Each structure stands twice: as structure tokens, then as C-alpha cells.
Structure 1
Amino acid sequence: MSQSGRREKPENASSGAPCPEGRLSVSTTTRDGVEILDITNYIPFFLSSINNALSRGASSIYRERFGIGISEWRTVSMLAIEPNITAARICEVVNLDKAAASRALATLDEMGYLGSLTSENDPRKRRWWLNEKGYELHAQIIRIALGREEALIEGIDPEDLEATLRAMRLMMKNVRKL
């Protein structure tokens, strides 16, 4: 890092050549004179690959054991964190699109995991929460989710993990600008 707090322009990890002008990452390389992604250093590739693998695995487990998928789990976990909220709030926090959130809420409601109340001012705005059965589901799945998280971070030093979390929190802020 420079004294100004900006990252120094790194060298391309695979070729040793400087990164393209203005780049802050080593996410490209050249082959036959053409700039291409170097997926061993391209952060969106890693984030997407890790997320896809985690979601696929979790969805399979949750469907088999509980009859719900990853969208329903994300909805359940959000309602445990912040009860009595609208579908729009769920979408905002867990980054689900409206259709996925509506389907998840409908599924969970049909399965008997939720309570809800329609707003007197706006019948389209319904507030949702977990009922007792919903909290029981949450208690079962959170154990599995935390176990999977432990397996994911196995072997990562606490300092590296904290640095990764700091970087990901900043990426969460930055992604809103894209």
C-alpha cells in the first residue's frame, strides 16, 4: 500500500508483467497478444464459484431433509434475524428478487412456518414472522449451516479470516455502486 492508502499497482501474477493501466487487481493475463481473464486471480469468479457450490449443496441438503430450498432458508434466517418485516425488506437484505421472495414466503406459509398480518393502510404490504414451528425449523437448519461454514473456513488463520471478512464487507458496499 502506498502512503495515500491506495494499493500499489500489482504485477500480473501469472506473467510478472504490470497490470493494465489503472487496474487494482491481477485478474487479467495475455495470451497471443489478447488480454483475457486470469480466473486464478479474478475475484468475481471465486465469489460466484464458491456461492454456487455452497448454494447447490445447501439446497440439496435442505430439500432432502426439510422440503425447502436455499431461497426459503435465506427467508427463514432473515425472519429470525428481523421478525415482522415485509417481503421488500427480505429482498433488500438477502438480495432475493421479488418473485423468489414471494415464492419462498408462499411455500413457507403453506408449510405452516409463518405468521403474517396485512397492513390496514396498504393491503399489498404484509408483515411476516416465524411462528413456533418456523423457529424450530430455523434451529435445525442453522446447525447445518454453521457446520458447513466451519468446513468452508477450515485451515484459514483467524487473521486471514478477519481480513477476508473486512474485504467482503467492503465489496458488499461497493457492489451497490455497480
Structure 2
Amino acid sequence: MSPPETRTKPSQTLLRQTCPAGRISRSITTRDDVEILDISNYIPFFLSSINNALSRGASAIYREQFGIGITEWRAISMLAIEPEITAARICEVVNLDKAAASRALATLDQMGYLGSVKSEKDPRKRRWWLNDKGYELHASIIRIALAREETLIEGVDPHDLEAGIRAMRVMMKNVRNM
């Protein structure tokens, strides 16, 4: 299959599609009768781009300072919120896949940050918690995470921020139906 022909000045038209509530749901640009996304108005692009940049930056900092990455931090933060939980529960709340959660817990366990107990019903399953060393690590990282959050939201009107958080909560519920 040969690549599409490249034109020096494509004709572009911006189309707006409206969802039932009347809000503009996305922008589509057409170029030579081909619909393409206008990423300047496409919500999944923004969410993905922001998340990728945040995760990459956080992972670099946490690896350099503490020897762990963002996946381990997500597991640590969940274990601080809900001690004595399974890997499956971590996956459910922070949307990690099971293999990533298991690797993160194994890494943290090897590093001496966790305690665990096998399930009596299924010895393959464990309940995990942070030990004292794990809580010390959590205390160090949470200060960095909160400072990064402050930088992220700097300049955002508090009312806009609250509206954005409400919208993201609805999107979290909706994504489970996709």
C-alpha cells in the first residue's frame, strides 16, 4: 500500500459536532474530504497528554530520588489509603493492569517497604500493607506529588478547577461503560 499523496496546501474545514446536550463534543477538521481530529478540542488527547507528561516527569523524579517509578508510587499511595488490600483492589482503583500491579508490589516488597499475608482461601492471593519504612517513603514522595499538583493547577481559577474535577469524576464513571 502506498502512502497518501501529500499536498502543499490542503483544504481544511472545521466541523463541529454536537452531542445531545447541545455542547460541542469535538472538533473535526476535514482535509481533502478526510475527517481528522482537531486535537486542540479533543478531550481524550488532553487527558492522555497531561497524564503522560505527569507520569513521565514523576517517574523520573521518583526513580532518581527513591529508586521507584510511577507504578510503584501508585501502589504505595493506595496502600496508604487502604491498608491490607489485594493487588486486584489496587488495579480496580488506580486502573493498573494486574501484571503491572504485581510487579510493583514485588519490587516494593524486595525493597523492604511492605508487609503481606497470604489469603487462607487462596494462597496465590495476598493482602498488602506499608510497613514503617514504606510509610516513611510515602511521606517523602507525597510532599513531591502535592508540590507537582500545585504547579499543575497554578493559575487555574478555583471555580474552574472545581468544575473540572466534577467533570472528570463523571468521565471516570463513563469510562467504565466504554
TM-score range, shorter chain: 0.7 to 0.9
CA-to-partner distance for each residue in 1:51-83, whole Å, 9 max, x for gaps?
Answer: 000000000000000000000000000000000
Displacement of 1:124 in angstroms is 1.3
Counterpart in the other structure of 1:165:
165
Counterpart in the other structure of 2:127:
127
Distance 1:96-1:16 versus aligned 2 partners, 3 A rule: closer
Displacement of 1:34 in angstroms is 2.0
Distance 1:18 1:133 in 2: 53
Counterpart in the other structure of 2:48:
48
Counterpart in the other structure of 1:81:
81
Counterpart in the other structure of 2:149:
149
Counterpart in the other structure of 1:19:
17
Displacement of 1:37 in angstroms is 0.2
Distance 1:70 1:54 in 2: 10
- SS in structure 1 at match of 2:177: coil
Counterpart in the other structure of 2:8:
none
Q: Which moved more, 1:58-67 or 1:29-38?
A: 29-38
Unaligned runs of 5+ residues in structure 1 are 1-13
Distance 2:114 2:162 in 1: 35
Displacement of 1:88 in angstroms is 0.5
Displacement of 1:20 in angstroms is 6.6
Q: Report how many aligned residue pairs link the two structures.
A: 165
- SS in structure 2 at match of 1:52: helix
Displacement of 1:29 in angstroms is 2.0
Q: Which moved more, 1:31-40 or 1:106-115?
A: 31-40
Distance 2:18 2:29 in 1: 9
Unaligned runs of 5+ residues in structure 2 are 1-11
**Root-mean-square deviation over aligned CA pairs:** 1.8
Distance 2:71 2:164 in 1: 25
CA-to-partner distance for each residue in 1:97-125, whole Å, 9 max, x for gaps?
Answer: 11100100000000000000001111011
Distance 1:62 1:16 in 2: 42
Distance 1:150 1:103 in 2: 30
Distance 1:177 1:133 in 2: 39
Distance 2:100 2:145 in 1: 20
> Where does 1:55-134 land on structure 2 (aligned, <5 Å)?
55-134=55-134
TM-score by length of 1: 0.88
TM-score by length of 2: 0.88
Query: Would the aligned equivalents of 1:112 and 1:134 in 2 still touch at CA under 8 Å?
Result: yes
Distance 2:117 2:19 in 1: 55
Distance 2:96 2:36 in 1: 31
Distance 1:78 1:109 in 2: 15
Distance 1:21 1:47 in 2: 19
CA-to-partner distance for each residue in 1:39-59, whole Å, 9 max, x for gaps?
Answer: 000001000100000000000
Greater share of residues in strand:
2
Displacement of 1:136 in angstroms is 0.3
